[in-house]
Structure 1
Amino acid sequence: MLTRDATTTLTEQLAERYAERIRSRLLAPGARLPSVRDCAQRHGVSPHTVVAAYDQLLAQGLIEARRQRGFFVRNAVAPARSARAAAPAESRPVAPVDATALIRSMFHHPGTRPSPGLGTLPPEWLDLSLLGGALRRVSQGDGLAGHALHYGDPAGDGRLRAALSLRLADLGIAAEPAQIVTTLGATQALDIVSRTLLAPGDAVLVDEPGWAVEFARLAQLGMRVLPVPRGADGPDLAVMRRLIEAHRPRLYVTVSVLHNPTGSSLSLAGAHQLLTLAQAHDFHIVEDDTYAWLAPAHAPRVGALDGLQRSIYISGFSKILAPSWRVGYIAAPPALVQRLVDVKLLTSLTTPVLTEQAVAVCLEQGALRRHAERVVVRLDAARARSIDLAQRHGCTTATPPQGLFAWLDTGVDTDRLALALLDDGWLIAPGSLFHATRRPSGLMRINVATSQDPAFWRALDRRRTELQRRGARA
């Protein structure tokens, strides 16, 4: 909160608060700042103080005034920082207003309150003893020297790839160990596939709403991102056909099971139609199954239906073991494997053998399966509680909630709601983040495991009411 007994004036404090968010790209270029009246009410200061603070931001070249529209973050941000801004900032949640900010928000201080906008399980839900035991097992005796003093196999540790082949068989996906390439998490797996199969200017189909980081990553590689509306049973196939005919895409990247952010899963009929389109128009389907351990094993996987011919399967372990355990993998058609390994060599040489062997132990002993079963039971209870709180505080579910996330309609612009809740110390993921082209949205994604605090919902209800009143007066 702004303080009247601080060593700086209220104007300086307010200007520095927005300046820090802009310099850190937590307010994206083009983002609109609150109106003078809204900002004054939000921070409990006079309109004169807000005008003076915005004047300071204008003078620093951080924002621009647009006639009869308000104040907006400039596209070119000055690199200079004040001495005060350069000092270590107090650890606090940050509002994810673009893809990179959403990534930064994952690295919040563990001592902060739960963040409904994050995409990981709470630390207390994870099994530290499971990880520690697996590491001790693979590093005892001569194991540590054997794993730590040499590069591993470029395709990934053989023991883990054998265990992954058995894991995929449980999902109905037939993949020999030689068809599997390990990676530094599912994000690197997606990057390796993109760099192997695409060239700048190629068209790529993606789900919308979808994962903002994937949109940004593809765009940075120079690809043309083609959003396909995502429904309860999968993509809108009519829209997809029109895009295919007009742009001849090379890939379709999709979260087939427990889609982020809607929680929906691809139907069996939808998966069959997708494969028919891929075969007819010569493109690959990249199946991102990041949340596989939270989903039923019997949920339809594209890779199971076509035997990894047109499909490429990607998954990982950071969502179920620990965020820092960046172990992922690709299961691909045999003809693509060596090309994928070559790109992996160019981007990371290899992957850590010790961690991969530890994951293999967790798989071989069934410990990971048992841990996942416990998490799913706990997640079911958390989802029921979070949805009950959401509905009691005026939110509705846009899709049936499943898995880790719920996709909620708040009835107000969630970009504005995110900024207001940030002042209360709560982080949410506004709906605009999940669109390839940013636009206002009344939707937000919550993590049901970290949204069980009634204090959060009371804060949301209060801030939403304030925004609705301001909108009625405008």
Structure 2
Amino acid sequence: MLMKSAAQSLTEQLSARFAQRIRDRLLAPGARLPSVRQCAAQHAVSPSTVVAAYDQLLAQGLVEARPQRGFYVRETRQEPPAPPAPAGGAGPAAPPAGGAAALPAWGTATGAAAPRPAPIDATALIRGMFHQANDKPQPGMGVLPPEWLASSFMPAAVRKVVQGRGLEQFSLAYGEPKGDSGLRRALSAKLAALNVHAAPEHIITTVGATHALDIVSRALLRPGDPVMVEEPGWAVEFARLNALGMRLLPVPRRADGPDLEVMERYCEAHQPRLYVSVSVFHNPTGYSLSPGSAHRVLQLATRHGFHIVEDDTYSHIAPTHAPRLCALDGLQRTIHVGGFAKILAPNWRVGFLAAHPSLIEKLLDTKLLATLTTPALLEKALALCMEQGQLRRHSERIRTRLDAARSRSVKLALQAGCRFAAEPAGMFGWVDTGVDTDALAQRLLDEGYLLAPGSLFHAERKPSTLMRINFATTQDAAFWKVYARTVRSMA
């Protein structure tokens, strides 16, 4: 709460609070501040105090006033250059028939680029993950709680690897370019259990799964290339591709897979080079791909010549029998990406990709240019954990614990008046709150809770009543009481 103080006025306190959140990127560029009336009621101050505080933020260049619309966090970054028009000056594709989502027009009849809304700033969510202001469970976090991940076998594996001259051996020389051979053998065996058959020499280790996605993008794409992405989807992937200058083509994600009609129209109109997909336990909805949709997606890829990157980040908590594009395709047009941050050790940053032999050297060259090699010490320790079955047993314990957490979280969310927009599954829930979740997120920051509002999961900023919750961190009844009270006050 704001307190009257001789050292700092209420206006200065309120202005400083918003300024700090903007600088910490907890309020993303383009986010709307609460209305003067809402902010005054929320902080128990007069409207004139709010107006004066917003004026101070304007003077500092942190926000901008939009007539008849309110105050918005100022966009300070420069927009990427507009993509070139299609060859021959072709006009924009016609919108899909039958009520399907409209396709974005990347060019006009005269060849001029159409203006694009600013992409969502995913760093707001990432910085929020690192901004632990208190010890409360955070509903918007993207990882499992540290106490869930803690184990005795990981430290033991590291000690075994560094015993004798191990530490010197793995520290004073570069590792293998493709990654530790022992880990690649273990990964090959793991993938085989998912019916994804990749020899160790066709696997490359990376600094986490995000690095693997980046390697694929840099190796196979050039600025301006069209890339199909699932929407809602992973905010970090949207922002990363946008920063590389790619043209994002959002494909609505449904319960059984992507909207295939929209994908086909994209293929005909824009000839996309890549499709990025989370087939199993999709983030944020929890959806998993059906065999029929998987078959049709692969048919489109073969017919139109694009590659598919399948991000299997949640494979450790997913059923082994779940349909995967890479298993059906045999890595012909698909590239498998995975990592261990969600299940084992977020800060070890060990990931990998598996691809067709014809792509491996190009992907390896891209890895070498960015990181040379990856840390052999942690890779060898991880290989040991996998070979001895410790990772498998650890994953089984996490799945059991997550199932119980999901059941409790769903019950609490429903009691608080939420509606699930997708059947609860996996690690995340896609929840409809009935109110603007950008505004809700700002209100709950004052209560010490970090949310992941729905606008973060769209390729272009748009208001949303949805939010993503982490089932592992929303078992606290105290949060849901605060949530329900806040939603009632907003309504």
TM-score range, shorter chain: over 0.9
Deviation at 1:98, TM superposition (A): 3.0
Hey, what's the Cα distance between the residues in 2 that align with 1:128 and 1:150?
A: 29
Hey, what's the Cα distance between the residues in 2 that align with 1:260 and 1:455?
A: 25
Give unpaired runs (5+ residues) of structure 1. Answer: 78-96, 469-474
For residue 86 of structure 1, what is the aligned residue in structure 2? none
SS of the equivalent of 1:324 reads helix
Deviation at 1:139, TM superposition (A): 1.1
For residue 206 of structure 1, what is the aligned residue in structure 2? 229
Residue 438 in 1 paired to residue 438 in 2? Answer: no
Deviation at 1:137, TM superposition (A): 1.4
For residue 393 of structure 2, what is the aligned residue in structure 1? 370
Hey, what's the Cα distance between the residues in 1 that align with 2:479 and 2:247?
A: 38
For residue 32 of structure 1, what is the aligned residue in structure 2? 32
Hey, what's the Cα distance between the residues in 2 that align with 1:419 and 1:23?
A: 14
Q: Say which of 257, 272, 278 aligns to 2:295.
A: 272
Q: Deviations over 1:115-158 (max 9, x none)?
A: 01011000110133121011011111222222121100111000
Deviation at 1:339, TM superposition (A): 0.7
For residue 18 of structure 2, what is the aligned residue in structure 1? 18
Alignment check: 8 A CA contact 2:452 2:467 kept: yes
Deviation at 1:31, TM superposition (A): 2.1
Hey, what's the Cα distance between the residues in 2 that align with 1:21 and 1:105?
A: 10
SS of the equivalent of 2:391 reads helix
Q: Return closer, same or farther for 1:6/1:376 CA change in 2, 3 Å cut-off.
A: farther
Hey, what's the Cα distance between the residues in 1 that align with 2:189 and 2:477?
A: 42
For residue 59 of structure 2, what is the aligned residue in structure 1? 59
- Give the counterpart letter for 1:164 in structure 2: L
Question: Equivalences for 1:93-172 in 2 at 5 Å?
Answer: 98-109=121-132, 112-172=135-195
Hey, what's the Cα distance between the residues in 2 that align with 1:155 and 1:58?
A: 51
Hey, what's the Cα distance between the residues in 2 that align with 1:14 and 1:34?
A: 12
Question: Equivalences for 1:386-465 in 2 at 5 Å?
Answer: 386-465=409-488
Alignment check: 8 A CA contact 2:431 2:468 kept: yes
Residue 194 in 1 paired to residue 213 in 2? Answer: no
Aligned-residue Cα RMSD (Å) equals: 1.2
Q: Say which of 310, 314, 321 aligns to 1:291.
A: 314
SS of the equivalent of 1:195 reads helix
Hey, what's the Cα distance between the residues in 2 that align with 1:417 and 1:154?
A: 47
Q: Deviations over 1:262-318 (max 9, x none)?
A: 001111111111111100000111000011101011111111111111100000001
Alignment check: 8 A CA contact 1:127 1:371 kept: no
For residue 243 of structure 2, what is the aligned residue in structure 1? 220
Alignment check: 8 A CA contact 1:26 1:98 kept: no
Hey, what's the Cα distance between the residues in 2 that align with 1:202 and 1:386?
A: 41
Hey, what's the Cα distance between the residues in 2 that align with 1:137 and 1:248?
A: 51
Q: Say which of 262, 270, 279 aligns to 1:256.
A: 279
Hey, what's the Cα distance between the residues in 2 that align with 1:347 and 1:15?
A: 41
Deviation at 1:20, TM superposition (A): 1.7
Question: Equivalences for 1:310-329 in 2 at 5 Å?
Answer: 310-329=333-352
Deviation at 1:6, TM superposition (A): 6.2
SS of the equivalent of 1:206 reads strand
Hey, what's the Cα distance between the residues in 2 that align with 1:53 and 1:109?
A: 26
SS of the equivalent of 2:468 reads strand
Deviation at 1:63, TM superposition (A): 2.0
Q: Say which of 229, 235, 239 aligns to 2:262.
A: 239
- Count of residues in correspondence between the two structures: 449
Q: Return closer, same or farther for 1:26/1:336 CA change in 2, 3 Å cut-off.
A: same
Per mean C-alpha deviation after superposition, the further-off stretch among 58-67 and 156-165 is 58-67
Point out 4+ residue stretches in structure 1 off by more than 6 angstroms.
none
For residue 82 of structure 1, what is the aligned residue in structure 2? none
Deviation at 1:27, TM superposition (A): 2.2
- Give the counterpart letter for 2:126 in structure 1: I
- Give the counterpart letter for 1:252 in structure 2: Y
SS of the equivalent of 2:130 reads coil
SS of the equivalent of 1:2 reads coil
Q: Deviations over 1:159-210 (max 9, x none)?
A: 1001100000111111000000000000000000000000000000000000
Deviation at 1:108, TM superposition (A): 3.0
Per mean C-alpha deviation after superposition, the further-off stretch among 206-215 and 142-151 is 142-151
Q: Return closer, same or farther for 1:133/1:110 CA change in 2, 3 Å cut-off.
A: farther
Deviation at 1:9, TM superposition (A): 0.8
Deviation at 1:21, TM superposition (A): 2.0
Q: Return closer, same or farther for 1:150/1:111 CA change in 2, 3 Å cut-off.
A: farther
SS of the equivalent of 1:45 reads coil
SS of the equivalent of 1:258 reads coil
Deviation at 1:54, TM superposition (A): 1.2
Q: Deviations over 1:391-445 (max 9, x none)?
A: 0010011111111101111111111110001110011100110000110111100
Alignment check: 8 A CA contact 2:134 2:448 kept: no
Alignment check: 8 A CA contact 2:29 2:121 kept: no
SS of the equivalent of 2:300 reads helix
Hey, what's the Cα distance between the residues in 1 that align with 2:394 and 2:2?
A: 44
- Give the counterpart letter for 1:50 in structure 2: V
For residue 173 of structure 1, what is the aligned residue in structure 2? 196
For residue 74 of structure 1, what is the aligned residue in structure 2? 74
- Give the counterpart letter for 2:389 in structure 1: G
Hey, what's the Cα distance between the residues in 2 that align with 1:68 and 1:331?
A: 52
Alignment check: 8 A CA contact 2:133 2:448 kept: no
State the TM-score, normalizing by the size of structure 1.
Answer: 0.93
State the TM-score, normalizing by the size of structure 2.
Answer: 0.90
Give unpaired runs (5+ residues) of structure 2. Answer: 78-119
- Give the counterpart letter for 1:379 in structure 2: L
Hey, what's the Cα distance between the residues in 1 that align with 2:71 and 2:131?
A: 28
Hey, what's the Cα distance between the residues in 1 that align with 2:43 and 2:362?
A: 55
Identity of aligned residues (%): 64
